[in-house]
Amino acid sequence: MTLLDAKPPKPRTGWRRYVSLPLLIIILVLAAIPMTYRLWNIREEHAVSRFLTALEHGNYQEAYRLWQPSPSYSFSDFMHDWGSRGDYGQIREFEILGSKSRGSTTVIVTVRINRVDPPLQLLVDRRTLGLAYSPF
């Protein structure tokens, strides 16, 4: 049997007739772009979630540690801001609304605490995952 005697290939049927491998790769890459965009700041959102969960459970020492404050921001200052008599009172619930990158080292995470409007924006350092109030 030579090449000229070989049987012709069977024609493609069903969806294989319309989809080629390069087209399938392009579709998968385009589908992955929104997922990558959504998950880009997931570490920073998780850091804010851990911080607010610690506050919700009344673990103020752990929340203060996660805040990673400067030496001038004492624990009593922290309790004044985030304690049960702070701006939001006892934290009962929170919702992370989204995040956006600010340069290569900072992420702004927007969170709604106890359904209070307007939402709060917290800065998260990408390297240390330390938190701060957002000046933006």
How far CA 73 is from CA of 13, 24, 30, in Å, comes to 69, 54, 46
pLDDT at 33 over 90: no
Task: Characterise 38 by phi-psi region: left (phi > 0), alpha (psi -120 to 50), beta (else).
Answer: alpha
Q: What is the pLDDT of residues 111-135, one digit of tens each?
A: 999 998 999 999 999 999 999 988 8
Nearest CA-CA partner of 66 in 80, 44, 51, 49: 51
Cα–Cα distance for residue pair 127/44, rounded to 1 Å: 10
Show the domains of the chain with their CATH numbers: 42-133 (3.10.450)
Average pLDDT over residues 47-67: 96
Percent over 70 (pLDDT), the chain: 91
Q: What is the pLDDT of residues 63-117, one digit of tens each?
A: 999 999 989 999 999 999 999 888 888 999 999 999 999 888 999 999 999 998 9
Nearest CA-CA partner of 93 in 69, 115, 122: 115
CB 69 within 8 A of CB 78: yes
Which pTM value belongs to this model? 0.74
